Amino acid sequence: MTWRYFCADFLWNAALGAFLGMLCAFVFIPGWPGAAAMLAGMFGGMLLASVAGSVAGIWLGAFEVMLPSMLTGMAAGMLVAMRGAHEGVSAAQGAVLGAACGAGSILYSTALNLWLRGNVARWPR
């Protein structure tokens, strides 16, 4: 894995998380039941992320995009939907929360992948 691909994957997941976070901020408003918002946000986020990840996988690689994209969709959907159901979230807040979920998911999945392969000392250069 080269540094260029890692940066592209990072930007992709942050952008996907920001988009899903904004979308969830518009859909989930205060008054939604918490559990229903969490489940609907998780399912919707994973569904949209799987479609977007399939398209981005053409250019960035299927495995390198699909797993972090699905994790981003699940985390951003759950987090922003739950927060929106309880106290309301603006589009900007949803984008920031979603982008943070995307950044965290790519960092986590890259570190785990390198650790499982025994290449921890070979972080992308």
As a three-state string, the secondary structure of 2-43 is CHHHHHHHHHHHHHHHHHHHHHHHHHCCECECHHHHHHHHHH
Whole-angstrom Cα distance, residue 43 to residue 78? 9
pLDDT at residue 116 is higher than 90:
no
pLDDT in tens, 10-54: 999 999 999 999 999 999 999 999 899 999 999 999 999 999 988
The SS3 of residue 33 is: coil
DSSP collapsed to 3 states, 43-81: HHHHHHHHHHHHHHHHHHCHHHHHHHHHHHHHHHHHHHH
User: Bigger pLDDT: 111 or 119?
Assistant: 111
Q: Is the pLDDT of residue 70 over 80?
A: yes
pLDDT beyond 80 at 62: no
Q: pLDDT value at position 125?
A: 58
**Is pLDDT at 85 greater than 70 in this prediction?**
yes
